[in-house]
Amino acid sequence: MSGASFRVELIETEAALAELGGYVARARDPQGLFEQIGMSLVTSTQHRFETSVAPTGSPWPPSLRVQHEGGLTLVLTARLMRSISYVAKATGVEVGSNVVYAAIHQFGGDIHQQPRTAVLHFKTNKRTGQSRFAPPSKADRARKAEIGARTVHMPARPFLGLDDEDTREILRLADDWIGGEQTGAPQ
């Protein structure tokens, strides 16, 4: 060959082929990698509920409850936060929630409530004579009320998505996986 060139030769062929075989095996069966990525993203997503910050780094608009009572937005019962899970397959990983109201919080939108009739329950304080709302089991009177239609606007409070730290962690996990340094990686 004229010009410039170089040659690569395997001196310890058996060891080199075994090492290359490990890389190929891990690349052919990446489900374990996607399991690790899924676990990492669930943790990262749950952390967003504790910081009230979207994957883009922008803070969530505080809820009315938080404005009046304090606390954290979207974590009164923590049901949505605890519902974050993942499904890993050989072709990728999906992270999300099966809670029906997850989408309205992720994307925002308008909730249209139809007019309706409701039964309101009251209990009268015998000492002061004042009436207060009460659960049906403790009420001493009830009355029907017509409640008009209304629209409630829910601002988006994105919790699903990748931030820069997630991207770095995915790349680190992939690098470790291909190198065979993570538990669960096929050898």
Least confident of 28-32, 65-69, 98-102, 133-137: 28-32
At residue 15 the predicted structure's pLDDT band, cuts being 50, 70 and 90, is: low
Residue found under tokens 């009230």: 52
Cα gap 73→175, rounded to integer Å: 36
Residue 48 and residue 55 in contact, taking contact as beta carbons nearer than 8 Å: yes
pLDDT at 8 over 80: no
For the chain, give the percent of residues with pLDDT over 70. 83
Cα gap 145→65, rounded to integer Å: 25
Task: State pLDDT tens for residues 26-63.
Answer: 777 788 999 999 999 999 999 999 999 999 999 999 99
What does the angle CA 89 – CA 92 – CA 94 come to, to the nearest 5 degrees? 85
Task: Identify the pLDDT of residue 148.
Answer: 95
Task: Identify the pLDDT of residue 1.
Answer: 42
Other Cβ atoms within 10 Å of 79 Cβ, number: 13
Number of H helices, E strands in the chain: 6, 7
The mean pLDDT value for 165-186 works out to 79
Task: Identify the pLDDT of residue 141.
Answer: 93
For the chain, give the percent of residues with pLDDT over 90. 72
| Domain map (residue ranges) of the chain | 13-109+156-179, 115-148
Task: State pLDDT tens for residues 106-147.
Answer: 999 999 999 999 999 999 999 999 999 999 999 999 999 999
Other Cβ atoms within 10 Å of 108 Cβ, number: 14
pTM of the predicted structure, to 2 decimals: 0.73
Beta strands (DSSP E) in 21-160 are 85-89, 92-96, 109-113, 116-124, 131-133, 141-147, 150-154
Altogether, the residues listed in the chain come to a count of 187
Q: Please, is 121 exposed, middle or buried when counting C-beta atoms within 10 Å of its C-beta (0-12, 13-18, 19+)?
A: middle
pLDDT mean across residues, the chain? 87
